[in-house]
Amino acid sequence: MNGPGENAWEDREENDPRLPVDNPEWTEQPARKGFAALAWLAIAALVGLAVWRNADPPVLAGAAPEGERFDLKLFELQSRYITGAADFLGQRDQLFQQIDKLDRGDLEQRLRFVTIAGELAGPPEAIERLRALEAFLPTATADERRTAALLQRLYRDYEAGRTSAPSVTKGEREFLEDQLGWFGKLALNPKAAAPVNLAAPAGAAPAIVLEQPPGGADGRDEVLSQAHATFAVLVGGFCSASCLGLGGFAGLLVFLILAAQGKLQGGMLLDARHGGVYAETFAVYMALFFGLSYGLGMFAEGMPLLVKVGAATALSLGALLWPVLRGIPWREVRLEIGWTLGRQPLFEPLWGVACYVMALPLVAVGIFITVLLILLGGGGPALGLGDANLPRHPILEWIASADANTLFWIFLDACVLAPIVEETMFRGVLYQHLRELSRTWRFTASVLFSALVCGVIFAAIHPQGLVAVPVLAAVSLGFVIAREWRGSLIAAMTAHGLSNGLVLTLALLLLK
């Protein structure tokens, strides 16, 4: 094990350009110990404020573009998946038992569930579910009562074999589609047409025809194509993530073995010269971000909300002025926090991709813990769907109804600005402080302590809520691997941007 101040993986190259060799500006500057204890009191208070704010509905949720409720969007997503699976795989009874757990919540969701019951279990089941909703009708809106009555007539027709639904007029069909969206189209396009015997002249054989549903064969194909797409995206995404996860697990094992054997060169600069100055810097960053977010929200009324978020994120980088004001040369700050091109500038982004893949097994463990917490918290029947303990980022509510301009700002904020700023402050400033704080410990203990503290704070201030801390902390571990190994933040920023981009793209494919 190397001594304090040395790299614990492998000795650095003699001509490493990052080192302060023959640099009077570096070596002659006095150490800046800072006020770490006061900084951590401020950090703890600001993290507590963030957790308290996130306990309420996320800030963005109330200001999202007008559209369908997000919990209903999630319900539609699950319903499309189950419908697509039933059409591809059969096993309608088993699949209906799985989705039966979603027959809960308010009347708006339950009316939509009626159409799923009709699709998977048949018209009698849909009629039975409608009968169970009669207790809701006295307090329902006029539109909800009309929707329930139309569904009752529709499924009575289907039960009698009249798939053309003669009891429902064209205007009423348009009303159902308007009220229920995809669910309305599903209800109006049943899965099978019943044979009908037509009367024939004496001596002639009766003609047998198939009644067409109100939307015709094309209507059925259209509504199922959306279900098929959802099923394909989710199954394809799961299979792709599983393959990458297996590759990442193998890569992580190899990485850890090589690191333990000293065959990898680490990238951290740990001279313990400035102590709590970087803790102060991180506290200033948090105060700046929250202050700018609040100030822009209060006084920049004409500015779109996503632009405000991006502006607050970018301007919070002004916290990097703090260590310079405290007397640390900018060159030294830049090298210590990882604002360098790295040892292999052209390959640093590729190493970031590799670190992201290696983090996937850790993320899988985080997801398992989060799901377990949701189940223990009472979200078991549908994994928290519609419950307060369901972890989700409010930006997903924007995606569900975003136009092209809004999508541009979403991807800019999440895939460019957030990776640059958050990696600079968390894996750059905060992680540097924590590693210097624990530099006299054994290497493994120092890295684990620094990574866990950094990851928990990173996760706790995100708006997904405390239940999502295991997942987000696991993602942060992947970024820490990149920082510890490469030194430069380019790899960590790349991994962060890739992670956010993949999640947003998947959400866009599923929710739009």
Q: How far is residue 139's CA from residue 156's CA, in Å, rounded to a whole number? A: 24
Q: Could you tell me if 84 and 233 are in contact, meaning their C-beta atoms sit under 8 angstroms apart? A: no
Q: What is the DSSP letter of 345?
A: T
Hey, which residues does 195 pair with through a beta bridge?
210
Question: What pLDDT does 264 receive?
Answer: 86
Tokens of 137: 């009708």
Domain residues of the chain, as ranges? 49-65+230-511, 103-197
Across the strands, what pairs with 208? 197
Burial of residue 138, with CB atoms counted within 10 A of its CB: 0-12 exposed, 13-18 middle, 19 or more buried:
exposed
> Residue 482, class by beta-carbon neighbours within 10 Å (0-12 exposed, 13-18 middle, 19+ buried)?
buried
Exposed (0-12), middle (13-18) or buried (19+): which is 286, by Cβ within 10 Å?
buried
pLDDT at 104: 83
Q: Enumerate the H helices of 316-428 as residue ranges.
A: 321-325, 330-337, 348-374, 395-399, 404-412, 418-422
**512 residues of the chain, pLDDT tens digit each:** 344 444 445 444 444 444 443 444 444 555 566 688 899 999 999 999 988 887 764 444 444 444 457 778 888 888 999 999 998 888 888 888 888 888 888 899 999 999 999 999 999 999 999 999 998 888 999 999 999 999 999 999 999 888 888 999 999 999 999 999 999 999 998 876 545 444 455 555 554 444 555 555 577 888 899 999 999 999 999 999 999 999 999 999 999 999 888 888 888 888 756 778 999 999 999 999 999 988 887 877 778 888 888 999 999 999 999 999 998 999 999 999 999 999 999 999 999 999 999 999 999 999 999 888 877 765 544 443 444 445 667 777 778 777 888 899 999 999 999 999 999 999 999 999 999 999 889 989 999 999 999 999 999 998 887 888 999 999 999 999 999 999 999 999 999 999 999 999 998 888 77
Count, residues in the chain: 512
Rg (CA), the chain: 29
Q: 7 by DSSP, 3-state: which?
A: coil
CA angle 478, 479, 480 (to 5 degrees): 90
Q: Tell me 55's DSSP state.
A: T
First to last CA, the chain: 53
Burial of 337 (0-12, 13-18, 19+ CB in 10 A): buried
Residue 496 contacts residue 479 (beta carbons within 8 Å):
yes
Whether 126 contacts 100, CB under 8 Å: no
